[in-house]
Amino acid sequence: MPELPSSLWNIPERFISITHQLGRSWRRDVIKMTPEQIRLSLDGLSRLYPGQFGITFEKVKLGDVPSARIHYSSGSPQKLQKAGRILMVHGGGFAFGSARTHRALATSLAKRTATDIFIPDYSLAPEHAFPVALEELIHCYDFLSREDGPIWLMGDSAGANIAAALLNEIISCNGKSPAGIILLSPWIDLRPSSKSNELDQSNWSPFERLDMLEYATHYLQGHSPNDPKVSPILSPLKHWPPVYLEASRSEYLWSDAEMLSKKLQAENIPFEFRVEESALHAWQLFPDILPEAKRSIERISAFIASHSSIPREAAQASKV
């Protein structure tokens, strides 16, 4: 495979910063887009980018929760059972995002790993505040746990928050332990005083501190951000399974990921922390376009292979 360029974002930093600043002002101050409007816009745009061909995308239910199942059918039943299933919790500030917005990421990962990927369309804020989404994900995990084979938890941004909180609930209830957890640019500290909020590293970000406080308020609606169920960085991690962690040094939530890596190391949890130097938040959603997203798919696939009974070369046989 030819060497990929480091990034497609070889654009002057000042231009990116000004563009993001104008975008934030236009969205927030001029159009005054509501979460519902952002939700509809993202879902509409996602229809233009369906992801990999040859992958089944079907609507299912995990218990009572509407979900999507992304299924790569070319593998043998034995191989698929060994690879397991991924429960992917989509990001979107707790207020938007869907199985459709994460379809391209899921289809690329399913094809590469020969896993079935389930993406719940959990209830979104502000219509549904904490703990509704977490409770729905608990039901989804319990439903998947009825079948044999490993389960992987995965989440990006706010979805990583819910995935980490879900993991803690599984551990506290002595549920079936997932084979591992994959956290992409996790937003795991909702406190206004979090380091990410204090730094407000927004030059390369479509959102800034005011946005993060707003999204957190929509989700919390009076609930304390000091609760480990909404700020998982405050929870003990001693029983966590292997962790794949990924973030960009340039993105707003870099400090959340960095703090989590230090805590994982301090508590002797096996983990891999992969860093992109200058990728934009949510770059993983564009695996057919961005070189950094292709690298993410490769590393996540290798992580899953290294912690499962399916040989690494078998996982790579379905290479994107």
Does the pLDDT at position 201 exceed 90?
A: no
Instruction: Note the pLDDT tens digit of each residue in 87-128.
Output: 999 999 999 999 999 999 999 999 999 899 999 999 999 999
| CA distance linking residue 183 with residue 56, whole number of Å | 24
Residue 144 one-letter amino acid: L
| CA distance linking residue 215 with residue 151, whole number of Å | 29
**Tokens encoding 183:** 């956290």
Superfamily holding 13-316: Alpha/Beta hydrolase fold, catalytic domain (3.40.50.1820)
Contact 232, 211 (CB under 8 A): no
Instruction: Note the pLDDT tens digit of each residue in 120-162.
Output: 999 999 999 999 999 999 999 999 999 989 999 999 999 999 9
- Cβ-Cβ contacts under 8 Å for 112 (sequence gap 6 or more): 297, 298, 301, 315, 316, 318, 319, 320
pLDDT at 65: 97
Question: pTM for the full model?
Answer: 0.87
Mean pLDDT of the chain: 86
Does the pLDDT at position 278 exceed 90?
A: no
| CA distance linking residue 158 with residue 91, whole number of Å | 5
| pLDDT above 90: percentage of residues in the chain | 66
| CA distance linking residue 105 with residue 284, whole number of Å | 7
pLDDT at 80: 52
Q: What is the CA radius of gyration of the chain?
A: 18
* Tokens 């060497």, located at residue: 3
In order of 161, 192, 194, the CA distances from 225 in angstroms are 12, 8, 10
**Tokens encoding 277:** 């130097």
Instruction: Note the pLDDT tens digit of each residue in 65-85.
Output: 999 999 876 555 555 555 689
